[in-house]
Amino acid sequence: MAESEVKRMSMIIRVLRRHYPEAKCSLNFKTPFQLLVSTILSAQCTDDRVNRVTPALFKKFPGPKEMAGADLKEIERLIQSTGFFRSKARSILEASCSIVEKHGGEVPGDLDSLIKLRGVGRKTANVVLGTVFSVPGLVVDTHVGRISRRMGFTRSHDPEKVEQELMRIVSRKDWVEYSHLLIAHGREVCTARRAYCEDCPIRNYCPKVGVLNS
């Protein structure tokens, strides 16, 4: 990766940091387990919807031991509005059982162990690692992938390939923050429906690649 791209990325992060000083994980949680469950629920669902669903879920099943002993149909009922609820409920139940049986009831703090849990891919694992364990991880959700392509840092639509490409040009210390910044930017300015380039704080650093179809 050219040194110029590393410098351009550094400038973009600096500008976005000033523009979105409060950028952080928008899921509500009290424990690593609750963040894990919330992130599983966030697939194909807004964080706002997840935050409306989880209070009742965590009131009844606050930790992995309680969730592991839950009835699958009850979990499905509580999370139904998040979409794909049957698959998500099965993932939450089986992941909870694995945490209890294999990890002493504690969410593991390493990538390899996390991605072995049902329903947990690299995106979910990196959210948990970066947010509660302070382990640098670069989360590639739809916002991060879309905006990184528009900025010309990747052409790939494969999240894992995008992650690997970004890790080469984003400073390790900025991995977690980069994801939060792009998610905030993707919600406010560089949306999926339209890129509001005229209002964009990083327009001078962005080649606007495929802004209509990225």
Task: Report the chain's mean pLDDT, rounded to a whole number.
Answer: 95
CB 123 within 8 A of CB 105: no
Instruction: Sketch out the chain's domains with CATH numbers.
Output: 3-23+138-205 (1.10.1670.10), 32-106 (1.10.340.30)
Q: If DSSP codes are grouped into helix, strand and coil, which group holds residue 195?
A: strand
Examine the pLDDT at 208 and tell me if it is beyond 80: yes
Q: What is the pLDDT of residues 35-91, one digit of tens each?
A: 999 999 999 999 999 999 999 999 999 999 999 999 999 999 999 999 999 999 999
Query: What is the model's pLDDT at position 146?
Result: 96
How far, in Å, CA of 79 to CA of 43, rounded? 12
Both structure tokens of 130: 């970066």
Catalytic residue flag (residue 123) = yes
Residue 11: HSE in the Cβ half-sphere, 13 Å Cα cutoff: 13
Q: What is the pLDDT of residues 131-146, one digit of tens each?
A: 999 999 999 999 999 9
Number of H helices, E strands in the chain: 11, 0
For residue 106, name the pLDDT band (cuts at 50, 70, 90): very high
How far, in Å, CA of 185 to CA of 181, rounded? 6
Query: What is the model's pLDDT at position 211?
Result: 72
- Choosing from 141, 161, 174, 208, which is the catalytic residue? 141
Catalytic residue flag (residue 71) = no
How far, in Å, CA of 66 to CA of 191, rounded? 39
CB 54 within 8 A of CB 38: yes
Query: What is the model's pLDDT at position 3?
Result: 82
Chain centroid offset of residue 11 CA: 23
For residue 210, name the pLDDT band (cuts at 50, 70, 90): confident
Q: What is the pLDDT of residues 150-180, one digit of tens each?
A: 999 999 999 999 999 999 999 999 999 999 9
Query: What is the model's pLDDT at position 194?
Result: 92
How far, in Å, CA of 3 to CA of 202, rounded? 19
R_g of the chain computed on alpha carbons: 18
Examine the pLDDT at 214 and tell me if it is beyond 60: no
